[in-house]
Structure 1
């Protein structure tokens, strides 16, 4: 306790705070006893390998090559990008259709592709502009994409019904 006129900053009752937090069911990490002069051990995660049987998509590389021939090394949303980050995105999920149709594909930067497939980014079929999920409003890099026009030369090559289906199913979840 101080004799200061300003009482906005007071000493913390640490044990009282811990008790209040505990009563609310919040689990805190266990504290480690401090050992002066002892270097902490590095935190290691288990590694190694495991065997798996997976179904491999046939034709994905050819699909990407077809999109590169069609649009060049350009992310449809953000513009020119290095080959290493460009991925071939399907407007209709390959898991459902099991088809690679260039008309139903776009080249997208890997982060944009992930947002597109995760239902956080869609393309308006009228006007070919980007719409970003409201949940991304706190991320300037992505919220600034709202309303951006597609960066590809010929949007006539895109299957508009596939784009509309993707758009409708995506924004319906927002």
Structure 2
């Protein structure tokens, strides 16, 4: 069977009119990034750095980009007990700059999938049927309730419901004219290279960290430049956070663990602490209590170190 997804067109269906008019559905995180090649861990890290969401948001992003498929069904909801429309997904994920993305010129909701809205009649449901997350895979019982209430309240839509929910129809057997492949606008290699560069940090900031730490990760000693990233101790929220004292040079995986509060630097002795969650992994356990490899008299913001350390301690208490 096709997957059926509940997706919220904005808070309380605030963007439903635009979604219906533009024949699409969208999500509203990290609007300046093409997330096609972002790993789940990188999405979480970027959300944390930009303070746009948490782990639950990353799960929604992953499902929207990688799990929703052309020919799947989407149910646009209003709150926990209302449906405003039902449609068929007609494209793969369209990143913000894609020429076929109808939201590419706006500031918000720029991650898009094209949708053919088969039903655009709103109905209230007799009970709360949905959960809070923006995107939710619906179970058979939920689907049957939606079908039953539409059939009862709008019998003229029964043919449309049969088209949307044909009994026993497998997505691989369907042939309803779906354009499930949209050629990319650019070479995929160029996209990957651009995103790797973005992840490494702004060029001037990264160059400063490479110079300050002699091109070596301060934790592992790794000197493979392509694996090194300029880490912001105080998460990046604008150009003011690119002061060189707010940075360290870290191997990519160490950077990720630091941003996820699975590692921290004790400002009292400049030694690394690792989370209890990493104690079973020899790869990272060996770095516990290791002193940072910093050139003498390197200026590192003590205030930023303290903020990071306190966030780590707080996270450990909750684990």
| TM bracket (short chain) | 0.5 to 0.7
- Taking structure 1 as the reference length, the TM-score comes to 0.66
Contact conserved, 1:133 with 1:171, CA < 8 A, in 2? no
Q: Are 1:50 and 2:192 an aligned pair?
A: no
Say if 2:244 is the partner of 1:102. yes
* Cα pair 2:218 2:294 within 8 Å, conserved: yes
**Aligned with 1:118 (options 260, 268, 276):** 260
Secondary structure of 1:88's match?
A: strand
**CA 1:148–1:155 in 2, change beyond 3 Å: closer, same or farther?**
farther
1:152 aligns with 2:294: yes
SS of the residue corresponding to residue 75 of structure 1 reads coil
Deviation at 1:103, TM superposition (A): 0.2
Work out which of the two has the higher radius of gyration on C-alpha atoms and give 1 or 2: 1
1:63-110, Cα deviation, whole Å (9 max, x unpaired): 000111111111011114200000000000103785201001000000
Q: Counterpart in 2 of 1:93?
A: 235
* 1:167 corresponds to: 309
Q: Distance in 2 between matches of 1:166 and 1:110?
A: 18
Quick check: 2:272–2:292 contact (8 Å CA) kept in 1? yes
Total equivalences in the alignment: 129
**Structure showing the higher strand proportion among its residues:** 2
Give the Cα–Cα distance (whole angstroms) in 1 for the partners of residues 315 and 95 of structure 2.
Answer: 36
Task: Name stretches of at least 5 consecutive residues in structure 1 with no aligned partner.
Answer: 1-44
* TM-score (norm: length of structure 2): 0.37
Q: Distance in 2 between matches of 1:132 and 1:66?
A: 26
Classify 1:155/1:90 alpha carbon distance in 2 versus 1 (closer, same or farther; 3 Å): farther
Of 125, 137, 142, the match for 2:284? 142
TM-superposed deviation, 1:152: 1.5
Whole-angstrom distance in 2 between the partners of 1:141 and 1:155: 29
Q: Give RMSD over aligned pairs.
A: 2.7
Task: Return 5+ residue gaps in structure 2 as ranges.
Answer: 1-66, 70-90, 98-106, 109-197
Q: 1:151 and 1:51, CA in 2 relative to 1: closer, same or farther beyond 3 A?
A: same
Distance 2:240 2:96 in 1: 21
Structure 2 distance, partners of 1:161, 1:98, is 15
Is the partner of 1:95 in helix, strand or coil?
A: coil
Distance 1:62 1:96, change over 3 A: closer
Question: Whole-Å Cα distance in 2 between the matches of residues 93 and 124 of structure 1?
Answer: 17
Pairing 1:5-44 to 2, within 5 Å after superposition: none
User: In the TM superposition, what is the alpha-carbon distance from 1:49 to its structure 2 partner?
Assistant: 5.7
**C-alpha separation in 2, matches of 1:90 and 1:156:** 15
- Counterparts in 2 of 1:163 and 1:136: CA distance versus 1, 3 Å: same
